[in-house]
Structure formats: C-alpha cells, structure tokens
Structure 1
Amino acid sequence: MVYPCSMEKGRLPRILILTAGYGEGHHSAAGGVRDALAGRAEVCVTDLCAEAMPGMFRVTRAAYLWIISRTPRLWKLMYEVSDRRNLAEKPVKGLGPVEHLLERLLREWKPDAVVSTYMVYPYMLDSLAARTGKAVPYLTVVTDSCVINKSWLCSESPLWAVTDPWTREIMMEKGLPPDRLCVTGFPVNPGLGALAREHPVSWREGEPFRVLYFAQRSARHAREELEAMLEADPAISVTCILGRRFRRIYPHLRDLRARYGRRLKVRGWTRRVPHYLSASHVVVGKAGGATVHEVLAAARPMLVNFLLPGQEEGNAHLLEKLGGGCHVPDARALASALSGMMADGGAQWRRMHENLLKADMTGGSGRIADLVLKLAQEHTN
C-alpha cells in the first residue's frame, strides 16, 4: 500500500534519515530509504556523528576500520561487551554534541518522522522526548541479521524494521513486542531488485563462469584467493574490485593479469557494482550487511571469505538459511566451493540461484518508506 504524501495542503511530509559512517551498511540503508521516498517526501539524510564531531569521527572511524581488518579478536571482545550493555540505562559517553545537533535539527527542520539506521540515535530521540516533552515518531532500521546485539533492543522505538522472519523471531525472544517488529527486508537501492528480473543469468559447461570478487583484506589474501579461483577451473573468470585500495594492492597483482589474461579483470573504485552484479554468476566477499543484502536482492549466490565475529556471522547464517551461499574460511575452501558449484553442469549453482529467486529479498526500501510515511501521517492527524 502506498500512503499519501501530503501532510497538509501544498506540503510533502518531512522525513529525517539518520546514519553513521561506521561500516557501509548504515549508509547503504539510509540511501535506499531516501531513494524509495523520492517524490513522496522531503528528505534530509545526515550523518550526525560526522557533522557534530568531525575530528573525533575521523579518529574513531579510522580506529574502527583498523580493528575490524587487523584485530578481529579485539572486535569480538568489544562486541561481546556491548551485547551486555543497556544503552537506555548507560548511554555512550562523549556524544553530547551529537545529541545537541539532533535536537537542533528537530527544532529547526521540524520533521514529521525520523528513520534511524544506526543503533545509538534511538536512545537520543527517547532522551530528547523525555526532556522536552515533544516526541517525534521514528522507525529503527536494523541493519544486522540473525545475530542481534543488545544495542539495537533497549530503546522505545515505535517500530523496528528487520530483514527477515528469523531475525524477527530472535528479537521477539529477546523481549521486543511482536506488533512493533516489521519484516521489511534490507533497504537496498530500489534498482537492485530489478536485476534478478531484468538480467536473468544462466550457465552451461563450456561457457565462462563469472565471479565478482571484492578484495577487502590484505594484498596477500587477495593474491592467494585469486590464484586459487583461477586455478580451480579454466572456465572461471574473475572481476576483482579493489575499491579505494587500488594503488596499494594492485602492484601485488599485476603479474596475475599477465598470467591469466582476460580471465582476470581488476577495477578500482566504481559506481558500476550493479552492472558487475548483473553480469556475474557468483559473488565472493566479506559478509557486511549491505554487501550480503545487495547480493540477495540480485539473487546471485555468495561465498563469504571473511566475516567479523558477531553481526556478520548473522549475515552468513542468513545466506545459509536461504540456501544461497556459505562461508569459505580459506583460499582452498573457496576453490573447492566454486568447483562444487560448477560440477554436474552447474547443478549446485543453479539450485542456489533458484533458492534466492524464490526468497525474493527485494522491496525493503519501499516497505520502510511506506511505514515511515504512515508514522508521519498518524503524527500529524
């Protein structure tokens, strides 16, 4: 159902979307909701942490990225500590400027409803409502699946948007009211949902088996995994996305380009990920929330070559529950998994692809847009 756009004559509803740059999932979710609201609402998307405390944000974000890439065991410890903390009772210290910026935005921009894709902001909205007596309805978009940290659970959120029925069940078991838990799917870019329908993919023996590979670890890991994949079967061709790490990693891969020729393509930062997804048979990469759900929306099987303890384990579990992917802990397991997918004329790959088509993990952005517009309408009536 599409809810009306106008709150009063001549005005679209105002929707404030809050995000944070600690991981790509929050920004990706915010962008998906923004795109789904286009033409139906006046939208403001803001990274409160980056805007309120830019210097501190740069330092903490760099520390976060260093920890998750270099010391995953430390990240696991930090995750476990946060999973025992009630943020409603013990808020994160040092975020006063962030809450003050949020208060100013609510006062000056006057949104009709708020969408939060980061777990800290709902507590600030609750605090401001209690302090000022002015509550703005909001919706919390949970960007994790199957493994849900306590930091998502202790706010007074009117609604939580979750990715799948298993995640909803887990959150109910943790004490959240069922009528406030909505299975929407992850809010990927609305255009990605069309990939599975408009760009069907098939494979037969003798044809290239195209792998989209996101190199998100070290040059050594990238080299080991690329060699393993390309040696596994001569039909395999790989498009390797290095992103902003191109200059650092590509010199270590240059000789592989010469050895494997057209079977290996290396790209830097690109806006054409949907194009590469549509042309691929399988995706290999880290189990980040945004990446996994974009792959699910495109109905391309995925092999997870790296995951963070905690929430990313949940994303890998979701892939396995849907029958569309699995975790491969090293280069040898990666090569074996690809060979297995191609065996018997690609029977396993075809089964995984069909599983994801049946799951139809699309439309999350539109469903969340509908929910927040309904919240805004109820607030102003």
Structure 2
Amino acid sequence: MSKKVLIMSASTGGGHNRAARAIKEELEQKIIDGIPVQCEIIDSLKLVNNTMDKIISRGYEKSAIYTPKAYGRVYRFSETSLASKNEFKGNLLTSFMAQKFKKLLKDSQPDLIIGTHPFPMIALSTLKKSKDTYLNSTNLSETFSRHSYDIKVPPMISVLTDYTTHSTWIQNEISYYIAGHEYVKELLVVEGVESSKVKTFGIPVEKSFLSNRDRETVLNELGLSPDKLTVLLMGGSFGAGNIKETLAELLSIDRDFQILVITGRNQSLREKIDKNLALHPHDKSVCVLGYTNKMNDILASIDVLITKPGGLTTTEALLKDVPMIVPYYIPGQEEENLEFLTNCGAALRTTKKYTLSVLLKVLIDDSSRLDMLKRNIKSIRKFNSSQNIADLVVDILSEEKN
C-alpha cells in the first residue's frame, strides 16, 4: 500500500505554493516498499471556504500594496504576550479550519502532513492536541465529542518560508521544522523548540529553477545588452513596493547601466510605468515585463536585484548569486528577512542618507563590492532543500512502518 503525504499551503503571496510544488516534485520520485509516494497539495483556505480564502488571500495582497504599515502592526501584535505561541488554537478561524480538516483527514488518511503555511498547521495541531487530551484523560465527559478522536493526525512537518520565525509557526504538536538557515534555527530554539526538531535544509525551490540559459541569449531576447551592467527592479508577484518612484530614481543616476522592470500580475502598474517612460525622456535602456515564468533565466542574467525581500524571492536570488538592494519591504516577516540578509552581508538596505543612488553608484564604480556581496551569498545559500525534505519524509515513514 502506498504512503500518502498532504502538503498544506495557502495563497497568501506566491511563496507558500511555490515551496509546496518544489517539495511535491521531489516526494513523487521517492519509493517506499517498491511503491511511489503519493503526494497532494491542498490550498487550505480554499478547502475551508472560498469566501474566507478571498478575504484572507486578497486581504494580504491589498494590505501589502496599499497598507503595509497596518499589516506590520498586526504582525507585531501577534508576536506579543497577548497572542503568544501555542495560543492560536482557540482562535475562531483556526477552530473553524480544524472542523473542516476532520473530513479531509478521514477521506485522505495521510501518513504525513507538510505545511508551508502556518494557519493549517495550527488547525491540525488543534485536532491533535484535542485527541491527545482526550486519550490521556480519565474524564469521559470531555467537552469534545467522541467522534473527533477516531481521526488519525499523522506526523507533521512545518516548512518555514521566511528567514525568521513567528509565533504562529510554533506548535508543540509539530514533529519537525525546516528552517532556511542556522540563524533561524537558533531563533526557534530561543522560542522553546527542541534543537533536534529543527532541520536547516533551506527554503525549497523547484528543480527547474536551478537551470538557466546563458546571459547573452536572455538579455538579447529582452532587447538589452549582454555587455552592460543590468539592474532588475521588481516587487513580488503582485508588484508591491514603491516601484514607480524607485524607477524614477534609477533613471536619474548618472551612471551607464540598463534596467529591467517586472511588475508581476499588477497590470495597472505596468501601464503606468510604460506611460511615464513615454512621457519623460531618459538615457537608459529599459525593458518592462508583466508576469513571467522565466525568473530562473532572468536572475542568472542580471547583476543587481532591487526588490522587496519576500522569502522565496530572497532564496531564488541567493541561489543565483545575485546581490540585492532593498529600498522597500512589507513590515513584518519581510523586514525580518532583510535583517537576516544584512546581518549575513548578502544585501544592502537603503536609508535616508544611504539612498539607492549612493549604494548603486558604489557598486557600479567598484566591482569588488559586488564580488564581496557574492562571496557572502555563497556562504549562506542552501541547495537541495526539497531533496533533503523528501529524504526526511521517507525516513519518518520507514521508521513508522517498522
């Protein structure tokens, strides 16, 4: 009989689903007792309720674009003692999710669950905690109904998709945590997670991302020169950040370089940028793209990335040896990702005095500065995350069999 793994994700930003796909790709190549592992990705919020999915997923997107400071305040509040780790299980949202997941567990009967988003893992931990409480209790009049306890909640692995921790990730019922770096492991340990539960495999990316075409071919297709320093400006899958203002600053810099702008799925932003470029003369070669599935080629062909520091964006830049300048971020996990990058010497952060213009001019004028950033990147990047996660899953399932 084949082993079945569920990967619980959510569409709040693109990173959780991309990490889920990367893990699924590797797991489906694994064999246990001569039978391939079955693997299914569950979009947790859609499974619970389409309206809830739209509210939460679109709410995250809108807050990222229009009200990032408000998002940051909510993020920081949820880290306070008023909403501490392991205390989200009584939350109305996660309790509702837990009820919905009962049917999923009964129907699927998974042997292991992996989470690339914290919400479903809190809900599943709620079920597991309730069952364990019931089984260990001599009080047969527990407030929970008996039918809840014939549900098997299998071992669970949480895959952190940022270079930081948050109390929503930390649940006693989690078997293992996958962290992006040793620094993140230490943050988890400080929060009370057992060191043996944390594997520093890195954030998973799809295997296809690691291959790419040569720089000359890629830049020629974009109408850019392979011989000129190339700066990529972007703001994640939905074009968040002050991209218009940042592009205006880049165009004013008195150095010879070319610019590639990616606006993601934000079609309105692309149209505004195209209009501004047409109305205001400049001396730079500029290419503007919307959504693209060629980031593996593009990141391998540029010299500097100007972006907000999402977990997957950051990981992909590290894997392609691309130095980053970060002029904007969503307060919360992205701000903490930036702290990680700067502490590791892998990115530069703009400030009131150290503006984008100042930082980029130094990198252009002194190539050794770019080389230094690349050396630091090489010291922290982690390949083979998905493969290592898949191997861990096989080890867990094989132990359970014995």
Q: TM-score, normalised on structure 1?
A: 0.86
Query: Over aligned residues, Cα RMSD in angstroms?
Result: 2.7
Q: Which of residues 365, 368, 372 in structure 2 aligns to 1:347? A: 368
181-190 vs 351-360, greater mean Cα deviation: 351-360
Q: Could you tell me which amino acid in structure 2 is paired with residue 103 of structure 1?
A: K
Q: Show the counterpart of 1:264.
A: 286
Q: 2-side partners of 1:298 and 1:220: how far apart? A: 22
Q: Show the counterpart of 1:227.
A: 248
Residue 167 of structure 2 is aligned to residue 167 of structure 1: no
Query: Aligned ranges for residues 212-251 of structure 1 at < 5 Å?
Result: 212-215=232-235, 221-251=242-272
Q: Show the counterpart of 1:144.
A: 162
Structure-2 change in CA distance of 1:356 and 1:126 (3 Å): same
Q: 1-side partners of 2:112 and 2:95: how far apart? A: 22
| 1:142-184 Cα shifts (integer Å, max 9, x gaps) | 12213x2211123320101101001111111111111101101
Residue 153 of structure 2 is aligned to residue 135 of structure 1: yes
Shift of 1:245: 1.2
Q: Mark the runs of 5 or more structure 1 residues left unpaired by the alignment.
A: 1-7
Q: Show the counterpart of 1:287.
A: 309
Q: Show the counterpart of 1:88.
A: 86
SS in 1 for 2:202: coil
Q: Show the counterpart of 2:26.
A: 36
Q: Show the counterpart of 1:3.
A: none
Q: Show the counterpart of 1:5.
A: none
Q: Show the counterpart of 2:143.
A: none
Higher relative contact order (CA 8 A, sep 6+): 1
Shift of 1:360: 3.4
Shift of 1:199: 5.8
Q: Show the counterpart of 2:14.
A: 24
| 1:162-217 Cα shifts (integer Å, max 9, x gaps) | 0100111111111111110110101122233446xx8699xxxx941111111469
Structure-2 change in CA distance of 1:86 and 1:355 (3 Å): closer
Check conservation: 2:205, 2:385, Cα contact below 8 A: yes
Q: Could you tell me which amino acid in structure 2 is paired with residue 183 of structure 1?
A: T
Q: 2-side partners of 1:324 and 1:220: how far apart? A: 20
Q: Could you tell me which amino acid in structure 2 is paired with residue 155 of structure 1?
A: N
Larger Rg computed on CA atoms: 2
Q: Show the counterpart of 1:56.
A: 52
Aligned structure 1 segments of 4 or more residues deviating by more than 6 angstroms: 217-220
Q: 2-side partners of 1:380 and 1:135: how far apart? A: 16
Q: Which of residues 324, 339, 345 in structure 2 aligns to 1:317? A: 339
Identity %: 22
Check conservation: 1:137, 1:376, Cα contact below 8 A: no
| 1:312-343 Cα shifts (integer Å, max 9, x gaps) | 12211222233221222579811221111112
Shift of 1:263: 1.1
Q: Show the counterpart of 1:208.
A: 228
Q: 2-side partners of 1:257 and 1:265: how far apart? A: 12
Q: Show the counterpart of 1:65.
A: 61
Q: Could you tell me which amino acid in structure 2 is paired with residue 170 of structure 1?
A: L
Structure-2 change in CA distance of 1:150 and 1:215 (3 Å): closer
Check conservation: 1:246, 1:267, Cα contact below 8 A: no
Shift of 1:46: 0.9
Shift of 1:33: 1.0
60-69 vs 175-184, greater mean Cα deviation: 60-69
